[in-house]
Every structure is written in structure tokens, then in C-alpha cells.
Structure 1
């Protein structure tokens, strides 16, 4: 007798009960402890930076990833090869290395290129330091995640039955109409769950922007701990903030996946 693949369906989430209890206990500790309250007040400013970096970079990465996925499935060989080159090269680089490379190599090169274009027009050149580290971090995360998201989109687009595409052709729909009305609406069911996982992963990877001095949760945690020497308390609050965001989003994602499975095909 083979084990069921859905053996965890209907199982009481004891892990969630334990995590929720631990979270409520730590929240009570924060409220009742002046030191932890001060640390939370300081780090809470970094939450907005973390969310801003994540939302902007993820939205941009989704747009680029969709274009890359479409290009990788194009009937034109040049587009397919260029898309594969971008995806494989970027996916082979660690996010931290890509972050440093974009911040200190790509950004100065972009500034030099812009100045080369605008100076003959009589426009004042810009300086490299005018390219804020926050936006360099956003650019790096966008580039890094666009390659992974492109593969998610590609798999989703290829999951649509070819027979439906052929039927759309016989109805006279052009390529854009087939993509808009037939392919993409069906591919969304396959795309959204892994896309949600990538969003959660980006929230965690956004902590890497602290190496550039961007004042996100992690950077403020390092600065706070270096100032008060309460490393244990400070990094407990840092972990609490990240876990609150990621666990909440994970639960919402699971609920959404169950809703999508219950919907008729």
C-alpha cells in the first residue's frame, strides 16, 4: 500500500501553534521591556525600507522576467539565445556578488555612459555618488531575481495545452491576442504559487542590501547592536521582524494555493 501524497492534509498545524505562541510571548517581552521596546522602535524604521526595496525590485523583476520568458519561447533563434544567455549567466552568480558588482561596477559604468550622451548636449554631467546606494541595491535585486522569475513564467506558459493555442489560431487570433486571452490567463494558475515563494525569498535576500549601508532592518540592527552592545536582544528583534513578515506571507500563500486548487479548471 503506497503512502498518500496528501497525508498532511487536514493535519493540525502544531508547528503554527508553537510558532504563534512563541511569537506572542516575544511580543509580550518587547512590550514589557524598555530595552526591547527601544530596539523595536529603532528597527521599525527599517521595515519600510525593506518592504520598499522588495516591492520595487520584485515588480521590476516580474516585468523583465516575463519579457525574458516570452523571448526564450520565441520562434526567433536570436531572441531565444539572448534570453538563455542572460538567464544562465545571472542565475550562476550569487546575489551578494551580483549586488556588489552592480553597485561598484555597473552603476559607475551607467553614469559614465549617461554623461557621455548628455555632455555634448550641454547638460551638466552627474556624479557616481548621485546614484543612490538604495537604487543600486534595487537594480541588483531586479537583475538577479528576473532570471529566476523568467524560468517560472516560462514553465507556466509551456504548461498551457498546445491544442488550445491551435484552436485560437483557427479562430483568427493573432499572437498577442492568443497570449492575452488564452495562454497567460491559464498560465497564471501555475505561475502564482512559485512567484509567491520568490517574493518571500526576496524579502529575506533584501537583507543583503545592508552591505551597501542601506538602512534596512539588518543594517539598523547592526548599527543598534554596535551602539548598545546588546547583540542578543537586538538580533532577536531582527529575527522576529523577518519571521513575522515571512511566516505571515507563507500562510497567505498556502491559503491562496488551496483556493486555486478548488477553483474549476
Structure 2
């Protein structure tokens, strides 16, 4: 019997366990450290000033993304439903939301939605609705969730439809209900397929949180603009803000890549 030669191992077996793209992440972090040490004024002051904005950006991204995953799945299943009314309603939702820019939607939820609620309260003679005031953070998360759920639903739908119909038929023949077959057979396979686009949606959402600065949310972008306005220096704040966004997106990309490798289906 011929002994297997280690040099003839599969390409996956020869892959290094270290993702070399992490070097780019460390390079950007090193650049931030160098700027802070070499020119503490203004870079250290900028970093201290915007650090709370970094946490607002991360918190908004994580909460919105969790809600997007849930709502996107609901919308995708509704669009795959055999009930034409349900399918039609959510199809209209997806088409409308995808046709309106994210910034316009955020402005609508923060500036236009509260007066609608207040007018409704006047019609219903409800003091609670009449005195309704929009919370910037809540409206930002709501706007991002409503918008990105439409895009995420298409990702889910494509992943579910990529699974052969025989999988559903086999599950139903074993006595599973439609929802059991979806939960235990179809969705676990579809999630592996859609991981790359889901990761891309997360990174896009992280970057688009910069738009919530226009609705009075003190995220990273808004804090950078406030520092620029109060110190009258336009270059250094945006260099630091750009580098911080780059660190967050690069780390997110590496984490997504790691999850993809761990869940990849060998063919």
C-alpha cells in the first residue's frame, strides 16, 4: 500500500492557520499609535474626544444588525409564502425601501415620523401621542433596521432558493411540517451559503452608521465634525476618523472571513 505523501495533502490542509490580512489591521493600528505619539496635539486630543462616538457607532451597528437579521428572515419567509396577499405586501415593502436612499429614510424617521404621530394623537385626543418626542438613537436604529432588512431579506431569499427542492420534499416525507423543515433542514444549509453576503451587509451597515450623524446622534462622524468645528482644523480630525472606521471595518472583515472558513462546506 502506498503511503500518503504529506506534500500531496489537500490545499486546505496546507493553508496557514494565520490570516495574513491581519497584518493590514495591525499596520493601521500602528499608524494611529504613531500619530498619537508623534503629534499628541492634535491626534491624541482627537482620539480622546471621539472615543465615545466609537462606542455609539459600534452599539448602533450591533443592535441594528441583530434586528436586521431577524426582520430580514421574517420578510424573506413572507416573500416565499404561498399566500399571495402576504407575499405581495412584503414585496412592495422591499421594492419601496430599496428605492429610497438610506439618508432620506433616516431623515424621514427623525423629522417626519414624529409629526405624524402627534397629528394622530390630536385626532385621537391622546396626550401621550400629542407629546411624542423622537429619541435620536432609537430613530437611527429603527431607520437602519427598516432599510437594511429589505436588503437582507433578498440575501435570505436567494440562499433559501439555492437549496435543492428535494431537501424540502425529503424533510416533508419524514413527517416534518413546513416550519420544521425550514428550521432544521433548509435554513441551516442556507445560512452557510449566505454568510459572505451577510458579512458584507454588516460591513456596509457599519459604514452607513456615519449617516446617523445628521439626526443628532453623537456617533464617530458627528464627534469628528464637532472637534473640527471647535478647533478650526479640517485635516487631522478626518484622518483620525477615517483610520478608526478603517480599523473597525478591517477587523469585521477578518472576523467574517474566519466564520466563513469554519463553516465552509467542502466540495
TM-score bracket, normalised by the shorter chain, equals 0.7 to 0.9
**Structure 1 unaligned runs (5+)?**
1-5
Match of 1:21 among 6, 23, 27: 27
Count of aligned residue pairs for this structure pair: 253
The reply on whether 1:37 has 2:41 as its aligned counterpart is no
Shift of residue 139 of structure 1? 1.0
Are 1:243 and 2:254 an aligned pair? no
Superposed CA deviations along residues 186-210 of structure 1, whole A, max 9, x for unmatched, are 1110122211111110110000011
Aligned to 2:55: 48
Give the equivalent residue in structure 1 for 2:186: 183
Whole-angstrom distance in 2 between the partners of 1:136 and 1:234: 27
Q: 1:117 to 1:173 in 2, by over 3 A?
A: farther
What are the residue-to-residue correspondences of 1:2-151 with 2, within 5 Å? 17=23, 20-35=26-41, 36-113=43-120, 119=126, 124-125=128-129, 127-128=131-132, 130-151=133-154
- Decide whether aligned partners of structure 1 residues 170 and 191 sit closer, same or farther in structure 2, where only a CA change above 3 A counts: same
What secondary structure sits across from 1:215 in the alignment? coil
- 1:218 is the counterpart of 2:221: yes
Listed as ranges, the gaps of 5+ residues in structure 2 are 1-10
- Pair 244,113 (structure 1): closer, same or farther in 2 beyond 3 Å: same
CA distance in 1, matches of 2:219, 2:75: 30
**For residue 3 of structure 1, what is the aligned residue in structure 2?**
none
Residue 6 of structure 2: aligned partner: none
Asked if structure 1 preserves the Cα contact closer than 8 Å seen for 2:221 and 2:241, the reply is yes
1:54 Cα deviation after fit = 1.1
Give, in whole Å, the separation in 2 of the partners of 1:88 and 1:62. Answer: 18
Post-superposition shift, 1:228? 0.8
User: Structure 1: which 4+ aligned runs deviate by more than 6 Å?
Assistant: 13-16
| Alpha-carbon shift at residue 23 of structure 1 (Å) | 3.9
Residue number among 227, 237, 257 corresponding to 1:234 in the alignment: 237
TM-score (norm 2): 0.86
**8 A contact 2:117–2:129 mirrored in 1:** no
Contact 1:160–1:186 under 8 Å retained in 2: yes
CA distance, structure 2, for counterparts of residue 140 and residue 210 of structure 1:
13
Quote how far apart the aligned CAs of 1:249 are.
0.8
C-alpha contact 1:107 1:136 (8 A) present in aligned 2: no
Change (3 A) 1:19 1:133: closer
- Equivalent-residue separation in structure 1 for 2:20 and 2:189 (angstroms): 35
